[in-house]
Amino acid sequence: MNPLLQTLQPYPFEKLRALFKGIEPRAGFTPISFGIGEPKHPTPELIRDAVVNSLDGLAAYPPTLGSEPLREAIAAWARARYGLESLDAATEVLPVSGSREALFALAQTVIDSRSTPELREAEPPIVLCPNPFYQIYEGAALLAGAQPYFVNSDPARNFACDYSAVPADIWARTQLLYVCSPGNPTGAVLTLDNWRELFALSDEHGFVIASDECYSEIYFDEAHPPLGGLEAARVLNRGFERLVMLSSLSKRSNVPGMRSGFVAGDAAILKQFLLYRTYHGAALSTVFQRASIAAWRDETHVRDNRAKYVSKFNTVTPMLAEVLDVRFPDAAFYLWANVSRTGLTDTQFAARLYADYNVTVLPGSYLARPAHGTNPGEGFVRIALVAGVEECVEGARRIVEFCRTLKS
């Protein structure tokens, strides 16, 4: 067996199951889950219809490269969304089976774990991850033979990572850096200054930047969509060298089950990624390729979807702000709430809320690693506002009541 498998950590939801084991929630409360970040709004009719009308696609093996019309649809969407003068559908865009798979596979493509053969044990290549973070980055790094290095996000700086604190010997070994913008779990969006710093570091040290942007279309001000990595490159008058972005229809179009996303950016990386994927064998089904074309070409359902999140966040955030330290995120569908003032740790908070009110939230410490003397997720819980408005409001009402009982 591959010994690297033993280095993988249990997934946050496994830890949550262990935390809740043996707890019987108090009677009289229907379960409400703010735990898993799975969109719950209905899949738009136009996508369902496109799936049904594409079923003849089941009779063919899908091309790994994706169909030309899909690559064109994605390139057109990205050009319009990020104001790009050019994004070549033939060489700079690759459809994938959801961004999770691609985030993982990208590390297997990029990492050269033999680059320090004699020192491999002592000094493996580094993959830089934000902390807290989406756990796939860590597993992808470990299974590629690299070592994750965590850069803590700082609540005092809108959860930006302090890259200036990374030592020179770590930069020298860094081959890949993940960013998540809008961030899971904090919702924070990288600014142009953050990007300027990252591009300069990548130019100096030669690492690849993988920008996870799967929440980019969940935001609250129609006039200010989150800045994307390719967009930042365009604004800063540079090309896409050593930069790829990953996006997805899962959250944008409420189709997490369709497993449809894309990677775009540096053509040289995508060429090697395509080669890797030929063997990886994770091509997106032709049925879903066709349905994805319909989804990327339509913005009406995306605006309607955003409107639902806006109304939920507008109602729920002020309710929770009365009892927890929480504020409107830049984007995405999570509230990242500091529970310290309740006197409970994040795991105690989650366990007691579940026991007393049958509401599930995810302890922040499960989404982060201890690094540099602290676990930056500790004291926080992640609240995924994915259910319908009424359920979210009822869940928030119960959290408020729960916090009030703690204080009395």
Ligand X SMILES: Cc1ncc(COP(=O)(O)O)c(C=O)c1O
Q: Give the residues lining the site for ligand X (CB under 6 A).
A: 37, 98-100, 134, 180, 184, 212, 214, 248, 250, 256, 261
Minimum Å gap between C-beta 256 and ligand X is 5
Minimum Å gap between C-beta 326 and ligand X is 19
Kindly tell me the number of DSSP H helices and DSSP E strands found in the chain. 14, 13
In the β-sheet with 380-384, what is the strand arrangement from edge to edge?
334-338, 380-384, 362-363
Minimum Å gap between C-beta 327 and ligand X is 20
For the chain, report the end-to-end CA distance as a whole number of angstroms: 54
| CA–centroid distance for 21 within its chain | 27
Residue 130 makes CB contacts below 8 A (sequence gap 6+) with: 150, 151, 153, 161, 178, 179, 180, 183
Cβ proximity of 273 and 229 under 8 Å: no
Give the residue with the Cβ less far from ligand X, 323 or 381. 381
Sequence length of the chain is: 408
> What's the token pair of residue 139?
């597993």
Minimum Å gap between C-beta 264 and ligand X is 14
Give the residue with the Cβ less far from ligand X, 232 or 386. 386
Give the residue with the Cβ less far from ligand X, 109 or 250. 250
Give the residue with the Cβ less far from ligand X, 93 or 180. 180
Question: Whole-angstrom Cα distance, residue 385 to residue 265?
Answer: 31
Give the residue with the Cβ less far from ligand X, 249 or 320. 249
Minimum Å gap between C-beta 37 and ligand X is 5
DSSP code at position 60: S
Question: Whole-angstrom Cα distance, residue 29 to residue 77?
Answer: 44
Give the residue with the Cβ less far from ligand X, 73 or 344. 73
Question: Whole-angstrom Cα distance, residue 140 to residue 105?
Answer: 7
Q: Which has the closest alpha carbon to 183: 339, 376, 395? A: 376
Residue 148's SS3 state is strand
Minimum Å gap between C-beta 330 and ligand X is 14
Give the residue with the Cβ less far from ligand X, 37 or 124. 37
Give the residue with the Cβ less far from ligand X, 350 or 386. 386
Give the residue with the Cβ less far from ligand X, 67 or 184. 184
Cβ proximity of 229 and 239 under 8 Å: no
> What's the token pair of residue 330?
């830049």
Q: Which has the closest alpha carbon to 113: 149, 151, 143, 139? A: 143
Minimum Å gap between C-beta 87 and ligand X is 19
> What's the token pair of residue 6?
């033993």
Minimum Å gap between C-beta 198 and ligand X is 17
Beta pairing partners, 178: 210
- CB-facing half-sphere around the CA of 367: CA atoms within 13 A: 26
Give the residue with the Cβ less far from ligand X, 124 or 261. 261
Residue 269's identity, in one-letter code, is: I
Minimum Å gap between C-beta 341 and ligand X is 27
Minimum Å gap between C-beta 300 and ligand X is 21
